């Protein structure tokens, strides 16, 4: 299906979202992190989207290649946005860095996500969503133990799991800053 944006009705589906036809897992070699990794069936666009349940290799792909979570286009030379619950971690590579499994987004794509995503809307209502403009980041990958991979695949071996974005330098923003990008884009297209 490639990386084109898919809609479920009028709702854009993030590139990383799993679909109901992608439920089986196995272990294969990850081309982005060069090691054995958890993979799942690849049938993007088949069945129903499972919002909030990231697809294992598409999630690693976007983080490794620095691509947007919604549209899967390059984040280079664009405003990078993190929408996450993640807080500074004492066990990060540098104490206080933020580690998150959510890929970053373009600012306008992030604005679309908060408009359509029920989970993000709930987080906004609860005041738990953090909006950050990211200036510097790095990439890591979780290593899953044998018990976890056996549960997921039936095969007992360590394997890479989700990639993680390590936020190194960022600025906290608010929803007004985020939605200003969407509103500006609508006026320009207007």
Lowest mean pLDDT among 23-32, 120-129, 181-190: 181-190
Is residue 45 in some structural domain?
A: yes
Max CA distance (Å), the chain: 56
Q: What is the pLDDT of residue 190?
A: 41
Is residue 4 in some structural domain?
A: no
DSSP SS3 for 50: strand
Is residue 6 in some structural domain?
A: no
Give the tens place of pLDDT for each residue, 118-156.
888 888 889 888 999 999 999 999 999 999 999 999 999
Is residue 116 in some structural domain?
A: yes
Q: What is the pLDDT of residue 120?
A: 87
124: containing domain: 12-189
Structure tokens at 188: 């320009």
Res 39 pLDDT > 50: yes
Mean predicted confidence (pLDDT) in 2-16: 91
The pLDDT-based confidence of 6 (bands split at 50, 70, 90) is very high
What does the buried/exposed string (b/e) look like for 113-134 if buried means 16 or more CB atoms within 10 Å of the residue's CB?
A: bbebbeebeebeeeeebbbbbb
More confident residue, 95 or 139: 139
Q: What is the DSSP string of 102-134?
A: SPPEEHHHHHHHHHH-HHHHHHHHHT--EEEEE
Q: What is the pLDDT of residue 52?
A: 83
Domain count, the chain: 1
Give the tens place of pLDDT for each residue, 50-92.
988 999 999 999 999 999 999 999 999 999 999 987 777 655 5
Confidence (pTM): 0.88
Is residue 57 in some structural domain?
A: yes
Is residue 16 in some structural domain?
A: yes
* Cβ pair 37, 30 in contact under 8 A: yes
With a CB cutoff of 8 Å and minimum separation 6, the contacts of 134 are 80, 81, 82, 104, 167, 169, 170
Distance from C-alpha of 75 to C-alpha of 86, rounded to nearest angstrom: 20
């Amino acid at each position: 299906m490639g990386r084109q944006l898919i809609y479920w009705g009028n709702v854009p589906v993030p590139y990383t979202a799993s679909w109901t036809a992608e439920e089986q897992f196995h272990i294969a070699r990850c081309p982005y992190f060069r090691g054995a990794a958890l993979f799942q069936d690849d049938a993007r666009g088949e069945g129903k989207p499972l919002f909030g349940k990231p697809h294992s290799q598409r999630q690693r792909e976007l983080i490794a290649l620095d691509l947007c979570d919604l549209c899967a286009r390059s984040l280079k030379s664009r405003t990078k946005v993190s929408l996450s619950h993640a807080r500074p971690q004492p066990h990060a590579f540098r104490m206080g860095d933020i580690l998150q499994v959510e890929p970053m987004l373009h600012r306008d794509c992030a604005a679309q996500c908060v408009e359509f995503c029920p989970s993000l809307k709930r987080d906004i209502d609860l005041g738990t969503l953090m909006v950050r403009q990211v200036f510097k980041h790095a990439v890591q990958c979780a290593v899953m133990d044998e018990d976890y991979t056996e549960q997921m695949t039936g095969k007992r071996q360590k394997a890479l799991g989700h990639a993680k974005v390590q936020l190194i330098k960022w600025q906290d923003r608010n929803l007004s800053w985020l939605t200003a990008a969407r509103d500006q884009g609508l006026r320009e297209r207007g």
